[in-house]
Amino acid sequence: MKYLHIQRRAGVSALLCALLLGGGVWVQNLAAEDDKPETGWIEIFSGKDLNGWTKKTGDWEIVGDVPLNPDNPKAFAPKPGTGVMVNGKGGRDTNIFTKQKHGDVQAHIEFTVPKGSNSGVYFQGRYEVQVFDSYGVKEAESSDCGGIYKRYNEKKSYGFEGHAPRLNASLPPGEWQVFDVTFRAPRFDKNGKKIEDAKFVKVVHNGKVIHENVSTTGPTRAAAFSDEKPLGPLMIQGDHGPVAYRNIRIKPIKLD
């Protein structure tokens, strides 16, 4: 099997692999299945430009890499190139919004933060999965990385309805991390009245499931919009500290 893997990566056809290994039709079908490209994904961040975002991108910029600053672990030391977007030289910049609006969706998002930094990914610009340096935290809260952030009552100044990740999957500051999220948009009747809450069907952080079937009754704190809609943009929070992202893509889906 290891030999088969090497040959496929080297571009040898599935049929040739089958002949070399004597594995017959089974090997050929396995290779054909593995080589099928994923479909339906929309690339939000190409690594080359910010064209997937609305025009108000502030000082977000494209760089090649974001190692931690050896003189200041709370900051990056960006290197020239492409592939990564970082929120400005000062580490605090505007929130950015995708041109693409989504309802039910799968999302793949890669991010990194330096020590103590903070960001967030808001589905439909309203419901946040927290990005934070939570490495080493023993008992994670909704404010830790991967948490579904609290809602907030402005008049009474208190937070409510946050959801902590079921486990802390955070990596050390400066390391790249991954969210894979399946999100179900709120549902509305023909008159526009909400009849079902938004739901995070599944949130996977660095390969570990941290949420399943978690509903939120409304937008979380610091959301861009206070109302709820069938569609909305993905929002990346850029005003809470240095953060960098890469390989952002979404796949519109339809959930029951």
The CATH number given to whatever domain includes residue 180 is: 2.60.120.560
> What confidence tier does 158 reach under pLDDT thresholds 50, 70, 90?
confident
The residue that leads in pLDDT, 117 or 154, is 117
> What confidence tier does 1 reach under pLDDT thresholds 50, 70, 90?
very low
Beta strand ranges found along the chain (DSSP E): 42-43, 61-65, 68-69, 72-76, 79-86, 96-102, 105-112, 118-123, 127-132, 151-153, 158-160, 177-184, 187-188, 194-196, 198-205, 208-216, 232-236, 244-252
Residue 208 lies in a domain: yes
pLDDT at 100 exceeding the cut of 80: yes
Q: How many domains does the chain have?
A: 1
Return the pLDDT at 204: 98
Return the pLDDT at 31: 35
Return the pLDDT at 46: 87
Return the pLDDT at 156: 74
The answer to whether 120 and 237 are in contact (CB under 8 A) is yes
Return the pLDDT at 153: 84
For 21-58, how does the pLDDT look when each residue is reduced to its tens digit (9 = 90+)?
444 333 333 333 334 447 899 999 989 999 999 989 99
In angstroms, the CA 38 to CA 32 distance is 13
The answer to whether 235 and 100 are in contact (CB under 8 A) is no
Q: What average pLDDT does range 245-254 have in this prediction? A: 98
For 51-88, how does the pLDDT look when each residue is reduced to its tens digit (9 = 90+)?
999 989 999 999 999 999 999 999 999 999 999 999 98
Residue 111 lies in a domain: yes
Residue 32 lies in a domain: no
pLDDT at 17 exceeding the cut of 60: no
Residue 235 lies in a domain: yes
Residue 28 lies in a domain: no
Q: What average pLDDT does range 130-148 have in this prediction? A: 97
Residue 36 lies in a domain: no
Structural domain for 240, as ranges: 42-252
Residue 11 lies in a domain: no
In angstroms, the CA 20 to CA 4 distance is 9
Percent residues over pLDDT 90 in the chain: 77
- What is the number of helices (H) and of strands (E) in the chain? 3, 18
Return the pLDDT at 30: 34
Residue 9 lies in a domain: no
Mean confidence (pLDDT) of the chain? 87
Residue-level length of the chain: 256
Return the pLDDT at 160: 86
> What confidence tier does 89 reach under pLDDT thresholds 50, 70, 90?
confident
